[in-house]
Structure 1
Amino acid sequence: MKRRPTRYTLLLARSGGGSRALVLPGWTLLLLLGLLFLWTGINVYLWHRGREVRVLEGRLQALSQEARELSLALEAERAKNRVLLKEAERTREELAEIQRAIEELRRRAGLSPVSARPVRHAPGGQGGGAGPGSLEAWAEVRAGLLDLERQLAEVVPALERTLELEASRPRGLPLRAHGGITSGFGVRRNPFGPGYEFHDGLDFAAPHGTPVYATGRGVVAQAGWMGPYGLAVLLDHAEGYQTLYGHLSRLAVRPGERVERGQVLGYVGSTGRSTGPHLHYSVYRRGVAVDPRPYLSPSWASR
């Protein structure tokens, strides 16, 4: 017996009345079901792909935000590096000024000049952050500081000795004010009789009682009556210098006393071999009288 093909009837009813029957062969339903499964599969696939795209878009946005933050941080580091390099350059210039000052101190201290290692500005510091450029610049600055510290450690003791000598050398006037030099250093006419005599100092006219000041740091070698100089004070200074202050009316120091430059030694008078109130001032170098005029300049000892 021959088998009849399978058929399906689809009944379509219209609201309000009337209907229609649609007869479909069996393979048509299978085709529709297949199309339905295919459409559903395509939608599921597209949904999964869309989800992956959304995940990738989220990751891309996060990476973009991270890149912007890194860019801002890099720019901040570059700005910081530029500031550090400027500070290093300014410090280098200050070190150069200090180096020149140290060279002058070495000259005054009698030391040979020594050039410190130059502090260089690192050329590669304008690119990235606070990296090799600024680190190398500050390394050079630190090296310069260490070099200057070493030089100062050498200069300070020598300079202290030099300043001690400068403070001890006779310098300046023994009077704050005077009426002029009435008798100079050298051969002069004898004020007490005929002929000529050697005058071993300078005579300063000044009123009786005018304070007399030490022209340098020293020790009182003698203080009292000293023959033709009357009441006088003799100071011992460094490097074989001595100064004498004669014809005083009154003394203000005693033998063995240490005195500073500018300290009062006594007061103007007319004691000893004198024709009137004045100060006799002598400078001796290793026991030999020298002309005191060059020593009256306040700056001669630092030359």
Structure 2
Amino acid sequence: MKRRPARYTLLLTRSGGGSRALSLPGWALALLLAFLALWSGANLYLWHRAREVRALEARIQALSQEARRLSLALEAERAKNGALSQEAQRTQKELEELRRAIEELRRRAGLSPINALPVRYQEGGQGGGAMEAWAEVRAAVLDLRNQVQELAPALERALETERSLPAGLPLRRYEGVTSFFGMRKNPFGWGMEFHDGLDFAAPYGTPVHATGSGVVAQAGWMGPYGLAVLLDHAEGYQTLYGHLSRLLVRPGERVERGQVLGYVGSTGRSTGPHLHYSVYRRGVAVDPRRYLDPAWASR
């Protein structure tokens, strides 16, 4: 007897509601697990970077407190020392610059602003002990500056990669999904055919948005997809937006997530106004539903 391929069943339940069983072939479950692993890895990497930013915040807070304590000690001594005054002012300025740099890193990482106390300094003061303490603070400031300079490019690259991955809906409004990913009945004849995306029914002229930042690989007539746009994203991802009535981008153009690429139409192999949306991973079509909003995917 011919052995049937193994299938796996997921049971989805909702509080106060019913349940639904979802049967998946082995390859689909493997793809789902691979996506979850990739997504978890990206979140872990960003969490690690955010933890480094929080550690820098703690250090700048401690340095600010120490500098404030030293400035109060110098005020008590009330002796004139021009060199120490210039060093104190320079250190205070550098601490403020570092505070602004870390606030910018936290903003990019989606963290709340820091609340480091400002350093108060009044000219005057002398003493070898205070001078040595200021030298230690300055050395720590220089070390902190080096860490900020090393962290900023890595964090920016991680955030740029996250912005480039496809996520969310390509339409702000639509009237339903008329065809899902996978095998379907041929709408133009007999038999079955493989459908490599989702068809969103929408009024003619509805704006179509990029689901991730990237570069326009193709824009124009693409056979059965009619007027279409193909975007290249990070990590080997591509997204396709088909059956458009008009295009707003050209090949080679850089686009950002949410940017309008064109408008819904019915060009190519189409039975009415709708958007065909496909997601490709290293050249292989994958189900776009796992890259849409969680609230939509649970419908």
Among 242, 249, 254, the residue aligned to 1:253? 249
Query: Where do 1:206-285 residues align within 5 Å?
Result: 206-285=202-281
Deviations 1:34-68 (A, max 9, x none): xxxxxxxxxxxxxxxxxxxxxxxxxxxxxxxxxxx
**1:185 maps to 2:181:** yes
Residue type matched to 2:288 in 1?
A: P
Structure 2 match to 1:287: 283
Deviations 1:170-220 (A, max 9, x none): 222211222232222222233333333221111112100001112222222
**Corresponding residue pairs, total:** 198
Deviations 1:78-112 (A, max 9, x none): 699xxxxxxxxxxx9xx99x999979989xxxxxx
Measure, in 2, the Cα distance between the counterparts of 1:173 and 1:133.
Answer: 62
Q: Give the 3 Å change call, closer, same or farther, for CA 164–105 of structure 1 in structure 2.
A: closer
Measure, in 2, the Cα distance between the counterparts of 1:284 and 1:207.
Answer: 26
**1:151 maps to 2:147:** yes
Measure, in 1, the Cα distance between the counterparts of 2:136 and 2:183.
Answer: 64
Are 2:74 and 2:126, in contact at CA under 8 Å, matched by a contact in 1?
A: no
Among 149, 171, 196, the residue aligned to 2:192? 196
Structure 2 match to 1:68: none
Query: Where do 1:123-162 residues align within 5 Å?
Result: 141-162=137-158
User: Which ranges in structure 2 are unaligned for 5 or more consecutive residues?
Assistant: 1-72, 79-94, 110-124, 295-299
Are 1:78 and 1:130, in contact at CA under 8 Å, matched by a contact in 2?
A: no
Measure, in 2, the Cα distance between the counterparts of 1:186 and 1:160.
Answer: 37
Measure, in 2, the Cα distance between the counterparts of 1:228 and 1:76.
Answer: 78
Measure, in 2, the Cα distance between the counterparts of 1:165 and 1:148.
Answer: 26
Residue type matched to 1:202 in 2?
A: L
Query: Where do 1:62-77 residues align within 5 Å?
Result: none
User: Which ranges in structure 1 are unaligned for 5 or more consecutive residues?
Assistant: 1-74, 81-91, 107-128, 299-303
Are 1:214 and 1:260, in contact at CA under 8 Å, matched by a contact in 2?
A: yes
Q: Give the 3 Å change call, closer, same or farther, for CA 245–141 of structure 1 in structure 2.
A: same
Deviation, 1:143, is 4.5
Q: Give the 3 Å change call, closer, same or farther, for CA 227–138 of structure 1 in structure 2.
A: same
Measure, in 1, the Cα distance between the counterparts of 2:133 and 2:289.
Answer: 53
Measure, in 1, the Cα distance between the counterparts of 2:235 and 2:268.
Answer: 29
Q: Tell me the TM-score normalised to structure 1 length.
A: 0.52
Structure 1 match to 2:81: none
Measure, in 2, the Cα distance between the counterparts of 1:246 and 1:285.
Answer: 18
Deviation, 1:246, is 0.4
Q: Give the 3 Å change call, closer, same or farther, for CA 232–131 of structure 1 in structure 2.
A: same
Residue type matched to 1:194 in 2?
A: W
Deviation, 1:264, is 1.7
> What is the alpha-carbon root mean square deviation over aligned residues?
4.2
